[in-house]
């Protein structure tokens, strides 16, 4: 039976370890600094435009989130179990009165807490800077973008943990995470565009292929929180708005939840039956 006290204890340890990790600290400082810089750079001179500062900042931060959040989520998740397996720390942990489900969920929740704290700091620094300059009327869209970034971060962390259960070595896990990041960020977009042009796919097919990518789900949902339609995405955006209307945003949120839940459940299922795999990895 799963004990939530054990999960909480492991999560706290993972959170403390993450906060001491120098690479995690560097990422936190870099993300907060870039978020603040973006909010400062787009500030226009006139008072009339300052009222739009939150939505303009949210629009600028979308691309920052699409690049940084998947990278850190995938690498943190993929290196976690694989690293402990390689050093033997995982065998020691499993020798304690805890089961594998408690270990994996505790590690996931601890890393999730650290990752969400980083995003909160980055968005918070930019938000405070904007609020001090006035014009908070459109802060709602900014807050919704933050929430969407949380969902994306959790989805990427879940994928990272799934990779970590499949790899014995840290190097292999990190290699898989980097490949997945490149595929989702670059190859996914370019592949969709190339396929659409070469095969002359209809707009609805292009849209449904695009939203299979969790990054595209986040991007479309974030644009919807800033403006009421998706004209900026061209015909595919107009099709999505006309076809789904007000249901589009809830459906995209549901998609991000699925991308979070399914990989971590897969990781739990695999990790629960890896006794020989864990011992083999620790002896190398």
pLDDT value of position 47: 42
Which has the higher per-residue pLDDT, 206 or 164? Answer: 164
DSSP 8-state code for residue 134: S
pLDDT value of position 158: 96
CB 136 within 8 A of CB 237: no
pTM reported for the whole predicted model: 0.85
pLDDT value of position 107: 94
For residue range 71-85, list pLDDT tens digits in order: 989 998 998 888 888
CB 7 within 8 A of CB 105: yes
pLDDT value of position 84: 86
pLDDT value of position 49: 39
pLDDT value of position 246: 79
* Beta-carbon count within 10 A of 87 CB: 13
pLDDT value of position 261: 96
Closest CA to 57 of 67, 44, 69: 44
Answer positive or negative: Cα dihedral of 101, 99, 1, 13.
Answer: negative
Q: pLDDT exceeding 90 applies to what percent of the chain?
A: 26
For residue range 93-109, list pLDDT tens digits in order: 888 888 889 999 999 99
Cα gap 251→245, rounded to integer Å:
11
For residue range 215-251, list pLDDT tens digits in order: 988 988 888 887 655 665 666 667 777 777 778 888 8
How far, rounded to the nearest angstrom, does the alpha carbon of residue 203 sit from its chain's CA centroid? 27
| DSSP states along 137-178 | TTHHHHHHHHHHHHHHHHHHHHHHHHHHHH-SSHHHHHHHHH
Half-sphere exposure of 228 (CA within 13 A, CB side): 2
Helix axes 139-166, 100-132, angle to 10 degrees: 150
How far, rounded to the nearest angstrom, does the alpha carbon of residue 175 sit from its chain's CA centroid? 18
Closest CA to 259 of 224, 223, 215: 215
Closest CA to 124 of 145, 110, 154: 145
Per the rule left: phi > 0, alpha: psi between -120 and 50, beta: everything else, 88 is left
Backbone angles phi, psi at 46, to 5 degrees: -85, 150
For residue range 27-85, list pLDDT tens digits in order: 888 888 887 777 766 544 444 434 345 667 777 788 888 888 999 899 989 988 888 88
pLDDT value of position 51: 37
């Amino acid at each position: 039976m799963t004990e939530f006290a054990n999960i909480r204890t492991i999560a706290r340890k993972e959170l403390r370890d993450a906060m001491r990790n120098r690479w995690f600290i560097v990422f936190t400082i870099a993300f907060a600094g870039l978020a603040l810089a973006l909010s400062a750079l787009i500030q226009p001179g006139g008072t009339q435009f300052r009222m739009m500062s939150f939505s303009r900042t949210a629009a600028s931060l979308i691309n920052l989130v699409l690049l940084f959040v998947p990278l850190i989520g995938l690498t943190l998740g993929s290196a976690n179990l694989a690293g402990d397996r390689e050093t033997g720390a995982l065998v020691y942990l499993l020798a304690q009165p805890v089961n594998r489900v408690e270990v994996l969920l505790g590690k996931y929740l601890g890393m999730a807490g650290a990752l969400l704290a980083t995003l909160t700091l980055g968005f918070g620094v930019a938000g405070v800077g904007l609020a001090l300059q006035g014009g908070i009327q459109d802060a709602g869209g900014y807050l919704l973008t933050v929430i969407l970034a949380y969902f994306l971060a959790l989805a990427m962390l879940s994928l990272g943990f799934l990779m970590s259960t499949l790899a014995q070595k840290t190097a292999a896990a990190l290699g898989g995470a980097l490949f997945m990041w490149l595929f989702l960020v670059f190859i996914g977009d370019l592949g969709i565009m190339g396929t659409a042009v070469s095969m002359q796919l209809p707009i609805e097919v292009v849209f449904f292929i695009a939203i299979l990518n969790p990054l595209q789900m986040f991007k479309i949902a974030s644009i919807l929180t800033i403006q009421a339609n998706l004209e900026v995405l061209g015909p595919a955006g107009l099709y999505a708005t006309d076809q789904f209307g007000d249901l589009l945003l809830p459906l995209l949120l549901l998609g991000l939840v699925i991308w979070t839940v399914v990989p971590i459940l897969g990781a739990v299922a695999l990790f629960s039956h890896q006794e020989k795999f864990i011992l083999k990895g620790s002896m190398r």
